[in-house]
Homo-oligomer: A and B are copies of this chain.
Amino acid sequence: MRVEVINTGTELLLGSVTNTHLAFFAKELFPLGLRIQRQITVPDGDAIREALVESFARADVVLVTGGLGPTTDDITREITAELLGLELIESADVLNAITQRFERRGLKMTQRVKRQAQVPRGAAVLPNNNGTAPGLYLSHSVEKQTPHLFLLPGPPRELKPMFCESVLPILQKVAPRNAVESRTFRVIGMGESNVEALIGEELLALDGIELGYCARPGEVDVRVIGTPALIERAAQIVQTHLGDNIASTDNRQLEEVIVAALRERGKKLASAESCTGGFVANRITNVPGASEIFVAGFVTYANEAKTNAIGVDPALIAQHGAVSREVAAAMAVGALKNANADFAISTTGIAGPGGGTPQKPVGTVFVALATRDGATQVEHHNFPTDRETFKWLASQAALDLLRRNLPALLPKHC
Q: Give min CB distance, A336 to chain B, whole Å.
A: 13
Any B CB within 8 A of the CB of A192: yes
CB neighbors of B among A346-391 (8 A) = 351-355, 385-389, 391
| Interface segment out of the listed A135-143, A234-242, A278-286 | A278-286
Q: Are B38 and A42 in contact (CB under 8 A)?
A: yes
Residues 227-270 of chain A: 1 if any B CB is under 8 Å from the residue's CB, otherwise 0?
00000000000000000000000000000000000000000000
Any B CB within 8 A of the CB of A409: no
Q: Are A300 and B305 in contact (CB under 8 A)?
A: no
Q: Are B23 and A17 in contact (CB under 8 A)?
A: yes
Q: Are A13 and B22 in contact (CB under 8 A)?
A: yes
Chain B residues with CB under 8 A of A206: none
Any B CB within 8 A of the CB of A80: no
Once the chains are docked, how many angstroms separate the CA of A131 from the CA of B101?
A: 51
Q: Are A282 and B282 in contact (CB under 8 A)?
A: yes
Given A157-B217, A277-B284, 5 further pairs, Cβ under 8 A: A12-B22, A13-B37, A72-B196, A302-B339, A309-B338
Any B CB within 8 A of the CB of A148: no
CB contact under 8 A between A25 and B35, given known A10-B212, A281-B299: no
Q: Are A113 and B193 in contact (CB under 8 A)?
A: yes
Once the chains are docked, how many angstroms separate the CA of A195 from the CA of B388?
A: 32
Any B CB within 8 A of the CB of A49: no
Chain B residues with CB under 8 A of A91: none
Any B CB within 8 A of the CB of A191: yes
Once the chains are docked, how many angstroms separate the CA of A9 from the CA of B221?
A: 13
| Interface segment out of the listed A172-180, A289-297, A399-407 | A289-297
> A72 is contacted by which of B24, B204, B278, B289 (Cβ under 8 Å)?
B204
Please indicate which of the listed interface residues A12, A15, A216 has the most CB atoms of chain B within 10 Å of its own CB.
A15
**Which residue from chain B places its CB closest to the CB of A102 in the assembled complex?**
B193
Residues of A within 8 A of B (CB-CB), count = 107
**Which residue from chain B places its CB closest to the CB of A195 in the assembled complex?**
B71
> A14 is contacted by which of B20, B26, B289 (Cβ under 8 Å)?
B26
Once the chains are docked, how many angstroms separate the CA of A294 from the CA of B269?
A: 24
CB contact under 8 A between A290 and B301, given known A17-B23, A193-B71, A200-B72: yes
Q: Are B13 and A291 in contact (CB under 8 A)?
A: no
Q: Are A296 and B302 in contact (CB under 8 A)?
A: yes
Any B CB within 8 A of the CB of A118: no
> A296 is contacted by which of B204, B296, B298 (Cβ under 8 Å)?
B298
Once the chains are docked, how many angstroms separate the CA of A9 from the CA of B39?
A: 11
**Which residue from chain B places its CB closest to the CB of A14 in the assembled complex?**
B26
Q: Are A309 and B305 in contact (CB under 8 A)?
A: no
**Which residue from chain B places its CB closest to the CB of A296 in the assembled complex?**
B305
Any B CB within 8 A of the CB of A70: yes
Chain B residues with CB under 8 A of A16: 23, 184, 214, 221, 223
Chain B residues with CB under 8 A of A318: none
CB neighbors of B among A175-233 (8 A) = 182, 184, 191-194, 196-197, 200, 204, 211-217, 221, 223
CB contact under 8 A between A300 and B296, given known A15-B24, A15-B26, A216-B17: yes
Q: Give min CB distance, A335 to chain B, whole Å.
A: 10
CB contact under 8 A between A301 and B296, given known A23-B18, A26-B15, A112-B197: yes
Once the chains are docked, how many angstroms separate the CA of A261 from the CA of B191?
A: 41
Q: Give min CB distance, A104 to chain B, whole Å.
A: 11
A-B contacts, 18 listed (Cβ < 8 Å): A11-B212, A14-B26, A14-B212, A16-B23, A16-B221, A17-B214, A37-B42, A37-B47, A39-B40, A73-B213, A107-B191, A113-B193, A276-B282, A277-B286, A286-B388, A297-B297, A298-B298, A304-B339
